[in-house]
Structure 1
Amino acid sequence: MQLHQINIQYDMAQDRLLLRVSTRDRQEYRLWLTRRFTALWWPALFEVLGHNEAVRRQGDPELQKAVLEFQHQTALQGTDFRQRFDAEELAQGMAPLLVHKVQMRRDGEEHYLLVFSPQEGPGLEVRLPERIMHALARLLTEGVKQADWGIAAPAAAQPDLPPAAERRLN
């Protein structure tokens, strides 16, 4: 599956987030994310992003957090979040999947493998480059804000930037 676009939107009627993944061959997969699932997955997503060599090399937890925040901001710089999601044909036989669990792991140096599973039956396996994983984390952050579920953001989703008057470049 070659990724084309990824999108997360809050659906008020369902009180869930809808994660949409479209592929280059014009197939779309839809995943429902409940509040409970999202509250567990959101911090885990940032934790998995922090399991790279540059972050782990830092002995001090504050330095680890700073390196992860830097990587997150750098990865998002070239991403266009304003582009409209192109509706595609739903993948054959693939009704929206109510996600019960997700397994995440690094898949090589610059990719991650995510396996979304319902309580029963087949799930969806997605391989994402690190840059897109950071974009997914950002989309999830925005979706949680839209949902107004009162879930506290993971530390890595909240950069510790001092007020503008206190920032120093040297």
Structure 2
Amino acid sequence: MDIHQLQASYQADQDRILLRLSGHNGIEQRVWLTRRMLKGMMVHLQRLADHLNAQREDGTLGSGRGESEAAVSVESRGDPSGVEADSVHPKSVPLLATALHVSPGEDHSLDVRFDEVHDGDSQATRSIEATLGPELLAGLVQLIDAVLRIADWDLHLRTALPDAQLADTQPSPLDAFADAPRPKYLN
């Protein structure tokens, strides 16, 4: 899959992170990341963050935004209904990642495959494959770091990468009510 954009949002009602991978062809793949899955990934993500920090300090990781770099955004939403109808089939269910396979690719990229394996099965029922170049890898690390802060799962990356910008989201009606100015009475 030729990735154009990465998005991640913490879904509080599911207590999961929804990772959305959008391609240049307009197709979007969605993956659920659970706390258990991310706990297993943390050692590898930390190594990747340290490696990317070393590349950034050496100047071998591009700092400008090129065509191969993905747009990165982080959201915190209560429901995943903000997905465009054209890019995702309405009845498609995000893949629940239970296994992750990573192998080095060409030009310092990583080939990543998320598998969904149900209990008792030896083969994946569904999988999503993507190739992540250096800029996309840096974006993914920033993205997961930012979403982990929102999720409050006590999982942290020690990274010197710049923080991902949090997308402006609509406040919940309850927050808007609590933050509303108090009425002034003329007595």
For normalisation by structure 2, the TM-score amounts to 0.64
Following superposition of structure 1 onto structure 2, how do residues 1-170 of structure 1 map, counting pairs within 5 Å? 1-48=1-48, 67-68=54-55, 70=57, 75=62, 78=65, 81=72, 87=84, 89-90=87-88, 94-120=92-118, 121-153=125-157, 155=158, 157-158=159-160
Alpha carbons 2:29, 2:94 under 8 Å: kept = yes
Code of the residue aligned with 2:138 in structure 1: it is H
The structure that is helix-richer by fraction is 1
Percent identity, please.
21
Distance 1:10 1:94 in 2: 19
Structure 2 counterpart SS, 1:108: coil
Query: Unaligned regions of 5+ residues in structure 1, if any?
Result: 56-64, 160-170
Residue equivalent to 2:176: none
For normalisation by structure 1, the TM-score amounts to 0.69
The structure number with the bigger radius of gyration is 2
Alpha carbons 1:32, 1:96 under 8 Å: kept = yes
> Structure 2 vs 1, CA of residues 16 and 77 (structure 1 numbering), >3 Å: closer, same or farther?
farther
Comparing 2-11 and 35-44, the one that deviates more: 35-44
- Map Cα deviations across residues 7-26 of structure 1 (whole Å, 9 max, x no partner): 11101111110000011111
> Structure 2 vs 1, CA of residues 69 and 149 (structure 1 numbering), >3 Å: closer, same or farther?
farther
Report the RMSD for the aligned CA atoms in angstroms.
Answer: 3.3
Query: Unaligned regions of 5+ residues in structure 2, if any?
Result: 76-81, 119-124, 162-187
